[in-house]
């Protein structure tokens, strides 16, 4: 028995560097797995697929509003930040005069899970200005028109949708009627 222990000890001593190297590689692999698991578990899970703004304001809908020369401008797929994903889509008419150019724009904040839906509802309510606001009925779960920004804010299920429709250089002159027209086109 002593001979076997002595042989094993000699084997380990002769290959000491090999065992240390294997232990370091094994430790690094284990550390990488732990970090990956922690990172995976720290990102909020997507339960509800976020809405793409350009799926609401499509090319054909933009052309109905702005004419056949409607041009897509700013557009982004949903970008997730914790429990909310935000997407944008905008079109303009083909008017070369920037000061008279008509613009239709949509921003969608989607709750990607129940925490995000609750956050949208809370921030929609708390973000509503106290002045220069007009309540809008029969659109989504709740809606108001912010006259200073020329924007229609709609809480619709998991989404907070912000619409703007009018002359791009003077959004404060946008009307609730025109913006509601845009809302009816994209929500129905």
pTM for the complete prediction? 0.76
What confidence tens digit (pLDDT) does each residue in 99-152 have?
999 999 999 999 999 999 999 999 999 999 999 999 999 999 999 999 999 999
pLDDT at 130: 92
Provide the 8-state DSSP code for 4. H
Give the pLDDT mean for 4-32: 67
Give the pLDDT mean for 39-58: 82
pLDDT at 25: 65
Distance of CA 160 to the CA centre of its chain: 11
Residue 24 has pLDDT above 90, yes or no: no
Give the pLDDT mean for 83-104: 93
pLDDT at 109: 97
DSSP per-residue string spanning 159-173: EEEEEEEEETT-GGG
Residue 23, classed as helix, strand or coil, is helix
């Amino acid at each position: 028995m002593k001979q076997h222990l002595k042989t094993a000890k000699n084997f380990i001593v002769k290959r000491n560097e090999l065992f240390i190297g294997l232990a370091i590689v094994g430790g690094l692999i284990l550390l990488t797995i732990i970090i990956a698991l922690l990172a995976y578990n720290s990102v909020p899970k997507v339960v509800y697929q976020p809405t793409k703004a350009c799926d609401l304001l499509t090319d054909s809908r933009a052309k109905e509003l702005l004419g056949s020369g409607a041009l897509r401008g700013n557009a982004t797929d949903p970008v997730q930040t914790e429990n909310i994903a935000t997407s944008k889509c905008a079109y303009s008419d083909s008017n070369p005069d920037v000061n008279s150019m008509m613009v239709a724009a949509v921003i969608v904040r989607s709750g990607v899970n129940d925490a995000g839906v609750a956050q949208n509802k809370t921030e929609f309510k708390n973000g509503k200005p106290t002045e220069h606001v007009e309540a809008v009925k029969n659109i989504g779960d709740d809606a108001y028109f912010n006259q200073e920004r020329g924007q229609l804010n709609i809480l619709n299920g998991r989404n907070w949708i912000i619409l703007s429709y009018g002359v791009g250089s003077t959004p404060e002159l946008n009307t609730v009627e025109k913006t509601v027209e845009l809302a009816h086109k994209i929500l129905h």
